[in-house]
Amino acid sequence: LHCVLVMNPNSQDFRKRLRELPAITSRCTIDWFQEWPEEALQAVAERLIPEALLETEAGDNPGASALGEQPMAEKEENKEQDVEPEGEGFPHMDFATRRAIMKALPAVHMAAGSVIKAAGRNGSCLPHRLRLQAAPPSSFLNLVRLFCGIFKRGTQEATAKRLVLEIGVRRLQEAKGHIESMQLTQKNKWPMMETMKAEVKVATAKLEAEKARADSTQRHVQKEEDAARKKEADCMEKEQEAEEDLKEGSTGLEGSLEALKRLQVAQIREVRAMTKPPPGVVLTMAAMCTVLDIPPVRKPGPVPGTTVEDFWAAAQGTLLKNPQKLLDDMLAFDKDQLSPETVKKIQPFLGREDFEPAQVRKSSVA
């Protein structure tokens, strides 16, 4: 039975264990491992760094970690020939740069150990563990892990930026394709656009001409509208005057109707008995004959060969012949049945001053 005990000579408990267990030094075979040579450091770096970086590459590209390892003899052969080993290596990095990193990390570790040793020989105040072993293998492993972590973070950042750039380039290419398509479409439609432009120009000229005609028509219509408004104002004024005249006539008509109701047959007989009636009575009989379409009697005038119209004789032969009938006809007379010709004939009587009721009443009450 063989037991292997591994102890760190840099540990503070190493001396304590030696004092408590003297058999460690008297009954055991001690293999004291000094600093690793440069070849060992480089071999460790070539072993650990690709594995750590392959895990990073596998995270970005699943399936990369499934690549098998090459035999050690093939690795040594590739290393001597500076050929990139198949199935392992740094992602996103050429082989020459990888080889330089593999050699640089051990060189940095050994240089640090040399500096610490030189400082110890010169009497510098160094910790006890550094005086025992200036550059332990664990520090090299920490250096490798530090490098792998920094490289991993840098690779991830670079990958993210590369993806952003790829997306941007792809979108620019898509935009370029769209622009070229639009330019081609515009080029194909350019003749049609020119034709439409000419048609629009002709249509614009027609619209301008039609607009000029419409403006002229509008001015003419405006003039006619102004004239119509003026006529309307005149008509309204005349209508107002007619309403006022109608109001006055209605007042006079109502008075005439009241007077007609008070008229007696005896008063009409009194008028019929007149041999030389006053001018007011003659004028009234002439107006009544005109309203009732009774023609006057024509008699020889004072000048030989002339005739005059005698409404008094016509009234005596028709209207005054039957006073009761005349009174009934006047009470039943419908003024709305007068024809326009009759109204026109009666107009001269209405404008005479001697035809006013007050003047006629002086000649006869009837």
Lowest mean pLDDT, pick from 121-130, 147-156, 289-298:
121-130
- CA terminus-to-terminus distance, the chain: 176
Q: Write the CB contacts of 88 (distance below 8 Å, at least 6 apart in sequence).
A: 50, 51, 54, 67, 69, 70
Residue 75: per-residue pLDDT: 45
Tens-digit pLDDT profile for residues 193-248: 888 899 999 999 999 999 999 998 999 999 889 988 898 888 888 888 777 766 66
Residue 363: per-residue pLDDT: 65
Q: 268, 321 in Cβ contact below 8 A?
A: no
pLDDT of 259 higher than 70: no
- pTM listed for this prediction: 0.37
Q: Residue 289 and residue 319: Cα distance in Å, rounded?
A: 8
Tens-digit pLDDT profile for residues 5-53: 888 776 778 888 888 988 888 888 888 777 788 888 888 888 887 766 6
pLDDT of 164 higher than 90: yes
Nearest to 272 by CA among 234, 315, 221: 315
Lowest mean pLDDT, pick from 66-80, 83-97, 108-122, 338-352:
66-80
